């Protein structure tokens, strides 16, 4: 298939990834990227997620957050910056990495504080 045959085709991709700490859905249609991040309520990864989206040069159009049971859910509606290319898998993997690192840091801090209290 030549590039001319792809003219007018809609670029679309969707990926879901899960780790111990969170679940990420990334949907890309044309230049719109929608991301849903679900994590345990004991941490707030909103600033970390926003930083990751900025690393990919995604312009944040809107963010919605909600707490459901023991989870925080964030939905980001973003737009791909002119001249940039973005892959759903890359965004999802990087978000998981950032959120997992934050949760790990919080767990280490919590353990250190617990150890200090028992001394």
Q: Which residues of the chain are modeled with pLDDT < 70?
A: 1-9, 106-119
For 42, the token pair is 């004991």
CATH number where 69 lies: 3.40.1720
For 81, the token pair is 């910056």
Domain of residue 100, residue span: 3-118
Residue 115, pLDDT score: 65
Task: Give the residue from 51, 52, 46, 39 showing the smallest Cα distance to 91.
Answer: 52
Q: Indicate the length of the chain as a whole number.
A: 119
Task: Give the residue from 55, 56, 53 showing the smallest Cα distance to 35.
Answer: 53
Residue 11, pLDDT score: 81
pTM: predicted TM-score of the whole model, two decimal places: 0.79
Q: How many domains does the chain have?
A: 1
Q: CB atoms < 10 A from the CB of 32, how many?
A: 14
Residue 81, pLDDT score: 86
């Amino acid at each position: 298939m030549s590039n001319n045959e792809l003219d007018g085709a809609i670029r679309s991709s969707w990926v879901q990834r899960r780790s111990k700490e969170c679940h990420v859905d990334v949907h890309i249609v044309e230049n719109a990227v929608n991301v849903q991040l679900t994590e345990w309520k004991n941490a707030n990864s909103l600033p970390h997620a926003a930083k990751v989206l900025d690393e990919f040069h995604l312009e944040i159009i809107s963010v919605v957050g909600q707490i459901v049971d023991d989870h925080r859910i964030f939905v980001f509606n973003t737009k791909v910056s002119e001249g940039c290319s973005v892959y759903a898998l890359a965004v999802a993997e990087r978000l998981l990495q950032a959120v997992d690192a934050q949760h790990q840091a919080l767990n280490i801090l919590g353990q250190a504080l617990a150890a200090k209290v028992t001394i």
